[in-house]
Chains A and B, each alone.
Chain A
Amino acid sequence: MSDGGAIVVVDVGLGNLRSVERALRAALAAEGRAPEMVRCTNDPGELREAAALVMPGQGAFGDCATALHRHGGALAKAVGAHLAADRPYLGICLGLQVLFETSEEAGGAHGLGVFRGGVRRFRDGMTDARGERLKVPHMGWNQVRPTADAHAAWLGRAHWYYFVHSYFVVPEAAALGCVAGETDHGGAFTSAVARGNLWAVQFHPEKSQAAGIALLRAFVRGAA
C-alpha cells in the first residue's frame, strides 16, 4: 500500500473475524504483499487511518446497527467518512446489509443508509423450478451472476460462492444501479452491490475456496 496504511477488518463483535483475517492474509501473500498489513480492530481512530476497510459480520442486522451507532456513533461516522471519500470497502454478509436503511428483522434499527432500501427475510415454503422445497437459511454454494462486465472483473462470470443467511437486501428502484450480482433462491435476489471502490457481498469469500480468494486478491489489488 502506497501510504503504508492498513487493511482494517472492522470488529463489531459479530461473527468469526479470524477466518476473514486469515483469508485476507492468504490473498495478500498470493499477491506478493505483506500479510501483516491486515488488522482487526474496533478503534475508530484506526478506521479513519485505514487504506481499506473490510466489514464482515454474521448474525442480526439490529446488533450490527447498534454496535455501529454505539458511543455516539463513532464507528458509523468513521465508516461513513471512509465511504464518502470512496476509499476501498468490502462488506461481507452483515457488512452488505448494514449499508441499507432498515431491516424486517429489527424494526427500529437503522443501518448506514448508504443505499436506499431494506433487508428482507426469505419466505418459508419456497420451492425451486423442480418443485423441491427451498430451505431457510439459504446455506451452501450458489452461483453469482454479475449484472455487467465491470462487475464480472471481480465477481467472475458464474462463480460459485458459499452463502449462509436468512435475510437479503432489497434496493429501492432508485438504488438499483448499485446491484452488481444476483443469485437465485426462490427467485433472484441481490447478492452483490458496488459503487466506486465500495464492494459488498452477501456470501462469504473467506469460505469460498479459490473463487473467494480470487475475489479477495482483486480487492487487495484495488486497495494498493
Chain B
Amino acid sequence: MTVARRLIPCLDVKNGRVVKGVRFVGLRDAGDPVDCARAYDLAGADEITFLDITASHEARDILLDVVERTADQVFVPLTVGGGVRTRADVDAILRAGADKVSVNSSAVTNPGLVEEVAGAYGRQALVVAVDARRRDPNDPGAGWGVFTHGGRVDTGRDALAWVREVDRLGAGEILLTSMDRDGTGLGYDLALVRAVVEAVGCPVIASGGVGTLEHLALGVLPIAEGGGGADAALAATIFHDGHFTLREARDYLRSRGVVVRDDAAPENR
C-alpha cells in the first residue's frame, strides 16, 4: 500500500453560513457549516476545507466560532482559507482549531508571509491557493497566469514560476484552481495540473471543473496513465448537490486503480 489520494469537499462560508446549500439526506440544517462538516466527516471525507467568502473583515469572529465548533466534533484535518491577510489572521484560525490555513492573494502581495507561517508552524500547516488562467484558452503552451480576487485581478505572474517560488518559500501544499474550468463541470485543466505537479516537490490539490467521477479519477491518476498526477482532489458542487456520495466517488476511484482510504475496515463496522 501507499499513501492514499485524498478527496476533499470544500464548503463556501459567508457570514457563518454555507453559501451553496448541501443536499444531504437527514441533515438538520443544510446551511450550517458545522453540520455540513460533520456530515462529510461521517460520509468519509479525507479532509474538509472551509473557504470564507465573507466580504467584511470585521465579521471574522463568526468564522472563528464556526472553526472552533467544527474542531470540537470533526476528527479529520480541517483547512480554512479566504480573506487570510496577516500573520494574526493565521494565528487566530489555527488557534481556533484548524489544522491548515490556506492563503491566496496575501501570498502574492506578501510572499514573506509564506516563509513566516511555515517557519512558525511547519510547512504542513500552510496551503497556498493558486488561481490560474490560461494565457490562451486554446493553447496550454502559452502558459497560465496567476489571478486573484476570484479571477478578476491579473497579477502578471506566471503560474509555474509562482508555484516553484511558494514551494521553495515553504508551502506545505498547493491548492490549484483552474479559473477557466471552475464552475463549468467540464473537468480539470489536466495540462495545468500536470505542469504544476511536475514543477513542485510538495503535494498538489487539484480543483476547478469537476462534473463527473471520471473527472475526479483523471485528476489523481498518474501522469503516465493519462491523469493529472495530483495528490488530492477538491470538489464542491458534485458532492454538495447530492448526485454522488463520497463513498461512490471512492469506490469509483478504486475501480480505476487509484489508492483511496477505506474507512469501513471490518472491525469498524
Contacts and interface: CB of A to CB of B under 8 A. Distances in A.
A143 B94 contact: no
B172 A16 contact: no
B202 interface: yes
A139 B172 contact: yes
A157 interface: yes
Interface string B198-240: 0001110000000000000000001010000101100000000
B contact residues, range: 35 or more
A108 B73 CA distance: 40
A141 B3 contact: yes
Given A207-B76, A210-B268, A137 B2 contact: no
A187 to B, nearest CB: 11
A19 B172 contact: no
A45 to B, nearest CB: 27
A142 B124 contact: no
B75 A213 contact: yes
B99 A158 contact: no
B235 to A, nearest CB: 17
Chief secondary structure at chain A's binding surface: mixed
B123 interface: yes
Given A59-B122, A139-B3, A210 B203 contact: no
A143 B1 contact: yes
Contacts of A156: 265, 267-268
Contact of B124 (A139, A211, A214): A139
Contact of B3 (A23, A130, A163, A209): A163
Interface in A85-140: 124, 128-132, 134-140
Contacts of A132: 222, 224, 229
A185 interface: yes
B124 to A, nearest CB: 5
Contacts of A163: 3
Contact of B267 (A22, A143, A157, A183): A157
Contacts of B122: 58-59
Interface of B: 1-4, 6, 41, 44, 46, 71-73, 75-77, 94, 97, 99, 122-124, 172-173, 201-203, 222, 224, 229, 231-232, 261-263, 265-268
